Amino acid sequence: MAKIISIANQKGGVGKTTTSVNLAASLHAYKQRVLLVDIDPQGNATMGSGVDKQNCPLSVYHVLTEKNAIEEVIVTTEAGGYDLLPANRDLVAAEVELMQEIGRETRLRHALNRIASNYDFIVIDCPPSLNMMTVNALVASDGVIIPMQCEYYALEGLSDLNNTIRQIAKLINPKLRIQGILRTMYDPRSSLTNAVSAQLRKYFGDRVYRISIPRNVRLAEAPSHGLPALAYDRNSKGSLAYLALAGEILRLDKEQKTTNTDTAKAQ
């Protein structure tokens, strides 16, 4: 069964979509079977994967409103090599249509359960708000990766998201946890960056990834070409950082599975 990871932070401009697209591409480079789910009406992860959101006859909207089966909507990206569940502005209507529906927060979970055995990882790109789409993603996920810049206001938003994750874990999805904190647009020369980074390690310990993502021009250019950075410039600092992040995630996942197996044997 796939490990399902949401990339979430209600603060915009922190690198959620960049992380979603490039993590999906990097995990695929490690020979993992990957599905990227775009659940943001802006459809940036869709465009960044080389798929024209305007010409998608079917999108995640059709899955959430149960108009079409998820298998009918998934497409394969050429540049990234991973599968994609695309999104566009149609998704705005989904929140309105689901407002009165019972079990609206579990729609994505039920859909992903149908195809989870086909993948090793499912990565969900969340919108920059704690709305029904984000709640659907968190309810469906095993863990959350929180990309954030090392600046003062980022810490404030992190507290709100942490509380939301705790509430969803308590009420609907007990397996949900913060998988990791990812420092993006990282500049080690900045004293503020180092101070915030130290605070993150103080409160979150080893859940702060060792790998950080630097500011990188090639990383910023890649989406305008509809490509993950790995396909645009494999040797750029941004590409190498996301490859290293994928390697760290795979190592931690393997360690977790080993621990779980040892615990089960001991019982």
Q: How many residues are there in the chain?
A: 267
Amino acid at position 160, single letter: D
45-89 tens-digit pLDDT: 999 999 999 999 999 999 999 999 999 999 999 989 999 999 999
d(CA 28, CA 22): 10
Residue 174 banded pLDDT, cuts 50, 70, 90: very high
Q: H or E element: which one contains 177? A: strand 177-184
d(CA 7, CA 126): 6
d(CA 86, CA 88): 7
Amino acid at position 266, single letter: A
Quick one: 63 exposed, middle or buried, by C-beta within 10 A (0-12, 13-18, 19+)? buried
**pLDDT, position 24:** 98
- Tokens 């999805």 belong to 173
- DSSP 3-state of 8: coil
Residue 132 banded pLDDT, cuts 50, 70, 90: very high
DSSP 8-state assignment for residue 189: T
- DSSP 3-state of 126: coil
Residue 13 banded pLDDT, cuts 50, 70, 90: confident
CB atoms within 10 A of CB 70: 22
Token duo for residue 8: 């979430």
Q: Which residues contact 157 (CB under 8 A, 6 or more apart)?
A: 9, 10, 11, 148
What is the phi-psi region of residue 218: left when phi exceeds 0, alpha when psi lies from -120 to 50, beta otherwise?
alpha
- State the alpha helices, DSSP H only, in the chain: 16-29, 44-48, 60-64, 70-73, 91-98, 107-115, 132-140, 152-171, 191-204, 217-221, 229-232, 237-266
**pLDDT, position 1:** 87
The answer, yes or no, to whether residue 3 has pLDDT greater than 70, is: yes
Token duo for residue 112: 């992903």
CATH number of 3-258: 3.40.50.300
The answer, yes or no, to whether residue 267 has pLDDT greater than 70, is: no
Least confident range from 20-29, 94-103, 234-243: namely 94-103
